[in-house]
Amino acid sequence: MATPNVKRKRLVEKSLPPAIETYIPESRLFMQLQALERRLDTKIVRKRLEVQEALGKPVYKKRILRIFVSNLAANQTGAVGLDDMDEGRLGAAEAPSWTLRIEGRLLDPTGAATKTRTASHKFSEFVNSMVVELDRDPDLYSDNVV
C-alpha cells in the first residue's frame, strides 16, 4: 500500500525498434497509440491548470506561518500613586491604555530566493477567526471591561 504523500511513478514507455514493424504490422498502431497518449496527457495537465486558475484555487504548498504577539502600554501611572499627583495633572492626563498587536508572516521555504517570492498576503487571509482570552482579576475589572 502506498502512502498518499508519495508521488506515483509513471511506467517507462516502451518503444519498439523500427525493424519490428516488418514482422508485426500492428506495431505501428501501438506507436501511434503511445503518441496519442502523450498528447492527451499534456492536454489533461494543461486543462487541470486552467481550471485551478479559473476557480482561484492555488496549488497548495506546506509552509510555516509565524505569528508575532506584542503589546504596547500608554499613559500608565506606574509606581506613582494617585496621592502624589495633583488634581489638575490627573484631569489633563489621558486615560491609561494598552494595545495588543497580533501579526503573522508566511515564511519563505528554505533555499528560495527573495526576488522570486510572490507578493505577501495579509495575515487575515490565513486566519478565519481568533479568540484572545485574558486572565484578569474579577475584583478589579468588571465583565464588560476588557
**Closest residue by Cα to residue 133 from 73, 68, 67, 69:** 69
Q: Who's near 71: CB < 8 A, 6+ residues apart? A: 98, 99, 100, 101
3 state DSSP class of 127: coil
User: Does this model's pTM top 0.85?
Assistant: no
Secondary structure letter of residue 72 according to DSSP: E
Q: Is the pLDDT of residue 106 over 80?
A: yes
Amino acid letter, 137: D
- pLDDT band, very low/low/confident/very high, at 44 (cuts 50, 70, 90): very high
